[in-house]
Structure formats: structure tokens, C-alpha cells
Amino acid sequence: MYKVFIENRAVFIIDNEEINSLEGIIFKTKKLKGLRKLIFNCFSDTNINLPMYVIHPNPEKAFSKIFKKHEFVEAAGGIVKKKNNYLFIKRNGFWDIPKGKLDENEDPELGAIREIEEECGISEPSITNFNCITYHTYLYKGKPTIKKTYWYNLNYNGKEKLIPQLEEGITEVKWVSKKEINQIIMDSYPSITDVISNYFKDDPFLV
């Protein structure tokens, strides 16, 4: 299964075995020809904010077909915990989790640590475990781009002053308590909400 956020709207690319109870716009097809056009025309023709399901026997091929004209970018980042607080950044006016584009052939775990250090001014956060992968699309210099982001859960025990990486559009970095997480979600992106929800999946305090 693939879940991609296009214009902050979720598109699920699944096969028949993953069908359960679906609510949203559903396309079921065995064809690949015209699939990309069909999906993006649907986004142009409707403002209904419902999830979209593309049901195809080979989700990987369907994913490749739909996004064949997109520039592919890989990134990595993660949720950093210090005692009972969590590290968040404000980027371009929205709350976000520190992350960034991977260098060529860079290991995602190393890239996640590097980006967190650069964007927040801390050093040597340690990865505890893998969180999830997200996909979302955007325009970069006028070109459609799809970003695959590897997310990790990390710990940090240092006392360094947080320093936002201003050149990356980051205006604020702060430690957030658990009770503030719901407010963060209200002023963030759907893909970021997915990462947060997955982090706290065994601790269902989120609204």
C-alpha cells in the first residue's frame, strides 16, 4: 500500500486484498494507461476533501505510473524526545518535525540525525527505532515533486540552546509537552499528523 498526500489530501494506492470498509472517492481498475490523468483530473474537478482510493492489482506499478512525471526526492527526520518533551520546529508558518533532503547515497538514519542537528542546533540525538515512511507532493521551482521521507524516533539528553536554521525557513524551535501536541497538530500538515499519530499509537491521548 502507498499513501500519498497530494495538496494535503490523502490518496491510497492499494490492491484488492487490502479492501475493507472504504469511505471516499474510489477508482478500481486493472489498467495503467490514463491512470495518472484520471487522478489529477479528479483533483482539478472537485474540491471535496475526501480521501481517494486507487485499487489496482499491482500498487507499485500504479504508484510509478501516477507519479512518473514527478521529480523524486528522499528525505529523513524524526521526533526527538527529551525527558517528557518533544522537539518541533515552525517552518514557513506551520509546525513541523525536523527533517531534510538526503545527500546523494546518504544513509537515511545518518541523514535524519544530520538534518535534526542542522535545523535545531543540537548534537548527537540517538535513534531508538523506525517510525514510518510518508509521501507527499509539492511544486519545487515550478516542477512537480514527490518526496519520500523516512521518519525515526530519537532521544536526546543534551543541554544545548536550540537554534533555528533560518535559511531553511525555520523561525522557531521548541520543546513541546505532551499536552501541547494536539495544538501542534491543528497547525501542521496531514502527513506530519500521521507521523505524530504513529509515534503515540500505543498512547491514545490524541484527539
Q: Residue 18's pLDDT is what?
A: 65
Task: Map residue 44 onto helix, strand or coil.
Answer: helix
Q: How confident is the model at residue 204 (pLDDT cuts 50, 70, 90)?
A: low
Q: How confident is the model at residue 34 (pLDDT cuts 50, 70, 90)?
A: confident
Task: Map residue 89 onto helix, strand or coil.
Answer: strand
pLDDT by residue (tens digit) across 112-134? 999 999 999 999 999 999 999 99
pLDDT at 167 over 80: yes
Average pLDDT, the chain: 91
- In the chain, what percentage of residues exceed pLDDT 90? 71
Q: How confident is the model at residue 111 (pLDDT cuts 50, 70, 90)?
A: very high
List the beta strands (DSSP E) in the chain.
2-6, 9-14, 25-28, 52-55, 71-82, 85-91, 94-96, 99-101, 126-140, 143-155, 170-177
DSSP per position, 168-203? GTEEEEEEEEGGGHHHHHHTS-HHHHHHHHHHTTTS
Which CATH fold topology does 75-199 show? Nucleoside Triphosphate Pyrophosphohydrolase (3.90.79)
Contacts of 141 (CB under 8 A, 6+ apart): none
Residue with the bigger pLDDT between 130 and 24: it is: 130
Q: Residue 45's pLDDT is what?
A: 66
Q: Residue 29's pLDDT is what?
A: 87
Mean pLDDT is highest, among 24-38, 97-111, 187-201, for 97-111
Q: What is the pTM of this model?
A: 0.91
| Residue spans per domain, the chain | 2-66, 75-199
Tell me how far apart the alpha carbons of residues 51 and 81 are, in angstroms, rounded to a whole number: 31
